[in-house]
Structure formats: structure tokens, C-alpha cells
Structure 1
Amino acid sequence: MAALYLLLALLSLLCHSLVVQHSSATEEKVTALPGLDGELPFEMYTGYITVNQTTDNNLFYYFVKSESKPEEDPLILWLTGGPACSGFTSLAYEIGPLRFEWKEYNGTLPGLYYSPFRLTKNASVIFLDSPSGTGFSYSSVSLTEYKTGDYKTVREAYIFLMKWFENHQEFLSNPFFIAGDSYGGVFVPLLATRVADGIDNGTEPVLNLKGYFVGNPVTDKIYDATQVPFYHAMSFIDEGLYKAAEESCRGRYDIYATEECEAHIDEVEEMVSDINKSQVLEFDCGDTWAPRPPLSSARRRSLRESQAHIDSATTIPPIACRGYGYYLGYLWLNSEIVRDALHIRKDTVGEWVRCNAAVNYTKEVTSTILYHRNLTTRGYPALIYSGDHDSLIPTAGTHGWIKTLNYSVVDPWRPWFFYSQVAGFTVKYENNLTFATVKAAGHTTPEYKPRESISMFLHWVHKQPF
């Protein structure tokens, strides 16, 4: 009898160990998705990895294998910006294999289709919900109490990577890249630096980091705040107002040097208040469902503030607007049958929102320029790209901070082509740093120009000219 009790105790401990291991890292294959006919035409997995045992921080991810040669194709970790915007944003609206059928919602589940424009055709991609509280990632600490910021987010993303590769050692030899856009401009170089340090220190597992790429990246508070020159170049403000703002602000638009500067910035903001800041050529649909508060010195919408996200079923954009796709995503991911198909853990996340403003996030990094210098001089190639019709992080500002690196030009400024048409312009500097524009694209470049962007990415990761 004693032996039986001992055996039962050992079995109990074993089961407990398995449960803990299961909660620490789980991954399941997604074979079908509601709204898409038949089995998935690509290989996708979803899972959770615990990155903080104390607060039970579990980061959720979507992993899509390359449809070509996953055993040797590039592996990319894609970090969506925000901060606190779900990796599903990149999967369904930018570089992934899924898109929503653009139909007016009729009470049934939104439909999906298999996108012909996808990076996953020739690369494996991990789409991460980071930090905790983003998408389907969760913590045992409530959002009102949970605090995070740039450094904690990157630290936990690194823990995620180490654990993910421990469970996927077959990908250790694949060329590995870290990428993202928007506020990913902070995450990407910081995480790439942490990975590079781990490689130098012999941290296990040693990753095959081959470079990184970021688009319209939040980088430096001075160079990112170049909206006034952008609006002038686009003829949105006249010469007089531009000169007055330039003089009173002393060429710095990240701070208000004088009262006159602040007054002129108010004038600029009023002039462009009906312009879509993410892509200045597209409809500005914000006023249709979210009336703008009156401008004032005390309560003013910043030139650097992102457009409002469609995060609630009570804010329905017109079907002609890009935000309608976000609304369809909101409806789809808040369906129980979809959550079951994606293997979402029960009672972990209530309402899914694309970008979670409720996350208590502190932006701690004011400039990542030194991180870029550190990485590129250590031999890690970088592609910095910019949709040239984005006013949130204007192209001239991005190219401006690149020039401060004082790298010699290796391949002079030239157009690059997609199907014999100019798709943008590019220049290559020493230390394998490439800067490229994507013509007529907005803030999240692949969302606006997926074919051109994906072609650019694949040429670059394979060290081919584009």
C-alpha cells in the first residue's frame, strides 16, 4: 500500500510538472478558420510563452511557416508598433496570408480570403502580441495595475525568443531577421542589440541573426517631428506660415521654443486637421464616427499623434474607409468560434482590440540612433524603409537621422522598380545600411503597397538589388 501511495505521489508530481510546462509554452496547429472555406492553404500555429512567472505574463503569437522551403527560408520576427498593437494587424493587413472580404457587415461572421500578396510565401514569420495586454497576450495583473515600457517589453520579447527557439531548434540555422514598423522602430533595434549581445556572449540558443528592417520607424524625437516641413513640401501650408513656424520654433518641432512657436503650430494643425495623417492622399474618415475636439493650446491633438484606432464595435467607420477592415477584424476575433479555432485560452482576454490604449505603457527611449550605429558597425545589415506619404513619421526625418551616422554612400540615390514601374527610391551606405522609399505608401508601408513592399523585403534579405 505504501508503494502504491508513493507511485501515486510521483504521478501527481509528474502531472504537475507537465501542467507547469504546458502553461509555460504551448503551441497548436490551426487547421481551419471560420470565414475561410476548407483547410488552411498554409501552415499556421498559435501559442503562448510565459515570459514572467511572477505575474504570469503570457505572450501570444501566430507562427506561419514559409510555403516554399521552411527548412532554409528566412525566419522573421515581426513586431507590430503602437505600442500595444496586436501582431494580427501585420498578419491580416500587411504581410500575412489572410485578408478580410471587404463587404458590408450583415450580422454574420466576416469572411476571409487567401492573399496573393504575402511575405509568408517565401519566409516563415512569427507575429507577436507584445507587450502583455496586447491582443491575446495576458497577465494575472490587471491592466490598471500592470505597468510596462520600452525596456520591459524588449526584455520579455527576448525571453520569448529564447524559449521559442528552444522549442523550435530546427530553425536555429535559418537566416533570422527582426522587423517591424511604426513604434516597432523602438522595439526592433533594441531587441536586435540584445540578440547580438547574446550571440557575442554565447547565450544558448545562439541565433543566426542576419540583420533587421524597420519601416516609418519611431526613432528620434527631433527627426521624427518633421511634419511642418512635410506639410510645406506637400503644399498643405503656405510659405508664409512655414517660414513663421520655422523661425519661431528655431527649426525644432519636438518642443515649443516660444509662445509664437506654439501659436504657429496651432495654425498648422488647424490647416491640416482634415488630412489623413497616416496616408495624406487617402480619405480622412475620423470625423465620421469620432468627432474631433476643438483645437486649443490647452487641449491640442499633437502633430505626432497617431490616428484613432478602430477598437470598439460602437465606432463603425464607413465601408469606403481603410478602418472598416479593422472593424471587420474586431468582429471576427471577438467570435467564440474564431477563438476556439485559434486555440485562445478561455477567460484570459475579454474584448480583443487591435491596439490597446488601456495598457499602462511608458515610452522611455527618446532615440535609437546609437542602437542603429552599434548594430551596423558590428556587421548586421539594416534596411530602413519609408512610405513617402506618411505624415506621422515623414520620410525626410527618417533619412535625416540616417545621414547623421555619416556613413559613406556605396550605391547612390536611384529609383527602384517593380514590374518595370518606379516603386520608390533607394540609397545604400557603408556598413550594409540601406534606405528606401516606397512610392505612395503610408505609415504602415506594406498595408498600402503590399506587392512592392514584399518584393523589396525578399530582395533585401537575399542580398539581391531591388
Structure 2
Amino acid sequence: MFLQVLLLFLLFHIYVAASSWSIINSLPGFPGDLPFKLETGYVGVGDDDDVQLFYYFIESERSPENDPLVLWLTGGPACSGFHTLVYVNIGPLSFDYAHSIGNKPKLKLNPYSWTKVANIIFIDAPVGTGFSYATTWKGYNISDTSHAAQTYQFLRKWLVDHPKFLNNPLYIGGASYSGIVVPVVVQEIADGNEKGVAPAMNLKGYVLGNPAIHSAHRYRNYVVPFSHLKALISDELYQSTKTNCKGEYIDVDPDNDSCLEDLDLVKECVKDINDVNILEPKCIDSSPTPNHLSNDSVKLLLPFSQLPRQWCRKDNYIFSDIWANDKAVQNALHIREGSIEEWARCNTSVQTSFIHDIASSLIYLENLIKQGYRVLVYSGDQDMNVPYMATTAWIESLNLTVASHWKPWLVNGQVAGYRVQYTHESYQLTHTTIKGGGHAAPEYKPEECLAMVSRWFAYYPL
């Protein structure tokens, strides 16, 4: 015990120069003091700490010393942790759209925050995302593997700085593109623990939401069967496409005219459908930075009751660009002056230069079965981007034992979704759908998703 404490002491003094953090008591746009503990800071990773990863940490509102510690990775890649915190309803704040006018967005409390039951770190990663930055151009050369390695390094250093959370159950979570990165980070932690790398982490499992564990084109193969199940294409077109294309809808023989004609008809049926939630309107992207607001975008800053056009969920995202680029906000968050030129909810430059060197994380998911972790995989059932049936397919490929067959789970006496549970020795995987949920399920069904994670973290059946 003495040696472990001494080692942590030495590690702290090695890392502390590369890390800094502050407790935030109030934020522009939120009335009064924050009723929860918010910490922001930077952790240096990479060569000579040339990458500075920014994070938001919010302590559990219930029992910080006992509740799980969750490191959450936002998808994209290169979408800020602030997006998950505010828009996906995993954090305790959201924008008050009804009262947000002009360049002064208002914030309000989210009653369905996962911080009701967990301590959560929201990280801006990879570098170039949100407020994270590099001190050298080399630092911006980022890939799936380096992103995962730096995230693991970040967590090690963060825990050295915050030793009181070393004994909390640790979970790594992420959604969408993070389905590639999360399993790699979990494997890094498992390997580090096995090798005796300090600090030892109390890793219990991981959480994946509508995860893209393969490269994006693989999911296009599910558009046809998903569209059929959701009545977006007819039985006749589905059967014809299935027969003519022989179940292959991506790498189609260019001489197979019958298949190509059918796929054109399918495309015509779904081209005006919002693929991240087929029940909501399809809209053009509307998240410009403050210096590039169009006249149409300025109209979106009116109270929502005065909007002269159909509401679109993407309209909400404009408020984060305005709020996070406000100097008063950056001062309140203790952002380092001159570290970034302009904050963006999702950094398209990073997305363009990002090196996708992991085509699939399935091999990592297979390896992790041997470690005996708990796994929660959830799927919004209205998501055509990463359909639930695609997730079901890779889970079934793991050849696990079904411990509890497909059945509904309830919230407030109503069906919130359906779940199936798998096991392999001490390994446990729960796959659940969120009825009516889209690609980021908690964004659409916050109450149901809070109930889901509350029960799962507590080892209760859904």
C-alpha cells in the first residue's frame, strides 16, 4: 500500500506540469450558481505533451465517492464533448430554446442527466476537437489508433490527478463513430492493468450507443432491409431488390442492370428521409460559426415560437457555436487564450484529415469477451444511419449464449424498448433498443435512457 501511494505521488509530480483544472461555479446564460460540481481542464498527452486535451468533468449528483466513473467519447470523429453534455442529454445542462434570443443563449437544467447516477468526464478528443489543441503541427496528425492511445494516456493522467476516483467502478462510453475507438481504449486499459501499469484502473465495462464498429460504407448494406421493415419501401420492391442484388447492396456488379434499377428506386424512396431519425424532418446542415451566420441562420436565433419555417433539430446546434465562441464563456471555462481560432461543435477540418486506420473494432470486441466485462449496447430503433439490425448482426457474430431472450422493458408502465441479454462465462452483454430513439438515442428519449443506465449501473434488470 505504501509503495502504491509513493508511486502515485511520484506520478503526480511528473504529470502535474502537463495538467491544469479549475472548478466552475457559474456560467454565462445560466441563472445563479451551478447546482452541481463542474470541473474543466487540460491534460497533456503525446510527445512532450504537445497535445492538450480539454475536458468537462461533472461529479455525480448522488454519491460521487460510490457512483461509477464514466469517460465518455463523442462520435464524429471530432465532435466536442460539449455536444454530448448539452444536446444528447447525458450532462446536466441544456439550452433553453424558448428564451434564447440573438447572441445570448440561455441554459437550463436537464432533469434526465446521467450525472444523477454517475461521475462523467466529457472529453474533447481527438486533438483539434472543441477546445483541445496541439502545440506543434505534428500533434495534429491523428488516427484511430493514436486517438485511442492518447485517450488512454489522458485517463491515466487524470486519475493520477484525481486519486479519490481510483476505486470507483470505471466504464468507458461512447456513441456513433466512438464504436471504433471505445473498444480499443478498453483493450489498452485491460492490457495496462495486466502489465501493472500505474495507476491500476477499476475497469468494469463499457457502453456503446448506436455504435459504428465498422467503416461507414458497411452500414449502407442495411438500408434496404431497414427501409422495408419501416415501410419506406414496398414489399414488392424489397423482394425484387433482394433477389436481383442477391443480398449485396454496396459492391454491386456494374453489369447487373436489374439490381441497379432497383437500388435507384430504393434511393428515390429514402432520399428525403432523415437517416439519423426517420420520424423527424430532413434538414440542411445549420450549424455555422458566428462569423459565418447567413440571414436564414440569423432568423433561427429568434424565439422558436417566431420561427417562419418548419422546426428542425439541427437548428438547436447553432446555439452551441454562439455560446462557446463567446469570450465571457471561454473565460468562465478557463480556456487558454489563443489556443484555438474558433470553436466548432464538430471540426470538419479534423474529420477531413483524420486517418481511419481501424476498419473495424470487431476483433477488439471479440478479445474483450475473455476479460469478463459488463457491456451495454443501446440502439435508437428509428436510426437508419447505424440501424439496430446492424448492431444485432455483429453481436450475434460473437457467438455468445443468450441468457434472456428478446422482451420489452418499461418506463412509467410503458414499453421503452426491447432487450436481449448475452453471456460468456463472466462476460455479460445487454443489447437494448430505445423505442422512438434516433442515432443519439438519449437526445430523443432522455427519460427512458436515464432509466436504462440507472438500472444497468446498479445491476438491476432493465
Q: Same fold (TM over 0.5)?
A: yes
Contact 1:97–1:118 (Cα < 8 Å) also in 2: yes
Partner of 1:5: none
SS of 1:225 mapped into structure 2: helix
Unaligned runs of 5+ in 1: 1-17, 287-307
Contact 1:224–1:397 (Cα < 8 Å) also in 2: no
Contact 2:220–2:249 (Cα < 8 Å) also in 1: no
Partner of 2:441: 445
Spell out the pairing of 1:283-302 with structure 2 (5 A cutoff).
Answer: 283-286=281-284
* Change in 2 beyond 3 A, CA 1:409/1:177: same
Contact 1:102–1:325 (Cα < 8 Å) also in 2: yes
**C-alpha separation in 1, matches of 2:288 and 2:418:** 35
SS of 1:47 mapped into structure 2: strand
Moved more, 315-324 or 88-97: 315-324
SS of 1:340 mapped into structure 2: helix
Contact 2:407–2:419 (Cα < 8 Å) also in 1: yes
Shift of 1:93: 1.2
- State the Cα deviation string for residues 271-327 of structure 1 (Å, max 9, x = none): 2121111110011122xxxxxxxxxxxxxxxxxxxxx47243436385522112211
**C-alpha separation in 2, matches of 1:433 and 1:309:** 37
Determine whether 1:276 maps to 2:274: yes
Partner of 1:114: 109
**C-alpha separation in 2, matches of 1:457 and 1:252:** 36
Shift of 1:105: 5.2
Partner of 1:350: 341
TM-score scaled by length of structure 1 = 0.87
- State the Cα deviation string for residues 220-274 of structure 1 (Å, max 9, x = none): 3546731111111111122343334334443233433435445543432232121
Contact 2:61–2:115 (Cα < 8 Å) also in 1: yes
Contact 2:403–2:423 (Cα < 8 Å) also in 1: yes
Determine whether 1:125 maps to 2:120: yes
SS of 1:430 mapped into structure 2: strand
> What letter is aligned with 2:213?
T
- Identity %, equivalent residues: 41
Determine whether 1:390 maps to 2:386: no
Q: Which of 200, 210, 231 is the equivalent residue of 1:216?
A: 210
Partner of 1:252: 248
SS of 1:347 mapped into structure 2: coil
- State the Cα deviation string for residues 439-465 of structure 1 (Å, max 9, x = none): 000000111111111111121122110
> What letter is aligned with 2:204?
K
Determine whether 1:44 maps to 2:38: yes
**C-alpha separation in 2, matches of 1:27 and 1:249:** 56
SS of 2:404 mapped into structure 1: strand
Shift of 1:374: 1.6
Q: Which of 161, 165, 173 is the equivalent residue of 2:167?
A: 173
Partner of 1:86: 80
Moved more, 234-243 or 68-77: 234-243
Contact 1:389–1:441 (Cα < 8 Å) also in 2: yes
Determine whether 1:435 maps to 2:431: yes
More helix by share: 2
* Change in 2 beyond 3 A, CA 1:114/1:106: closer
> What letter is aligned with 2:271?
S
Determine whether 1:35 maps to 2:29: yes
- State the Cα deviation string for residues 347-397 of structure 1 (Å, max 9, x = none): 011211111110110222222222222212320111111000000000111
TM-score scaled by length of structure 2 = 0.88
**C-alpha separation in 1, matches of 2:32 and 2:100:** 22
Partner of 2:232: 236
Spell out the pairing of 1:358-377 with structure 2 (5 A cutoff).
Answer: 358-359=349-350, 360-377=353-370
SS of 2:133 mapped into structure 1: coil
Q: Which of 25, 43, 56 is the equivalent residue of 2:19?
A: 25
Determine whether 1:312 maps to 2:308: no
Contact 1:154–1:190 (Cα < 8 Å) also in 2: yes
Partner of 1:326: 317
> What letter is aligned with 2:287?
I
Shift of 1:142: 4.8
Partner of 1:402: 395
**C-alpha separation in 2, matches of 1:20 and 1:167:** 11
Partner of 1:338: 329
**C-alpha separation in 2, matches of 1:225 and 1:401:** 13
**C-alpha separation in 1, matches of 2:16 and 2:166:** 22
Partner of 2:307: none
> What letter is aligned with 1:421?
Q
RMSD: 2.2
> What letter is aligned with 1:458?
S
> What letter is aligned with 1:375?
L
**C-alpha separation in 1, matches of 2:174 and 2:101:** 34
Unaligned runs of 5+ in 2: 1-11, 305-310
**C-alpha separation in 2, matches of 1:309 and 1:184:** 23
Spell out the pairing of 1:191-206 with structure 2 (5 A cutoff).
Answer: 191-206=185-200
* Change in 2 beyond 3 A, CA 1:64/1:225: farther
Contact 1:78–1:128 (Cα < 8 Å) also in 2: yes
* Change in 2 beyond 3 A, CA 1:225/1:110: same
Shift of 1:104: 6.9
* Change in 2 beyond 3 A, CA 1:36/1:277: same
Q: Give the number of equivalent residue pairs.
A: 427
- State the Cα deviation string for residues 331-358 of structure 1 (Å, max 9, x = none): 1001000000111110011211111110
* Change in 2 beyond 3 A, CA 1:234/1:339: same
Contact 1:55–1:141 (Cα < 8 Å) also in 2: no
* Change in 2 beyond 3 A, CA 1:158/1:422: same
Partner of 2:157: 163
* Change in 2 beyond 3 A, CA 1:267/1:149: farther
**C-alpha separation in 2, matches of 1:371 and 1:31:** 40
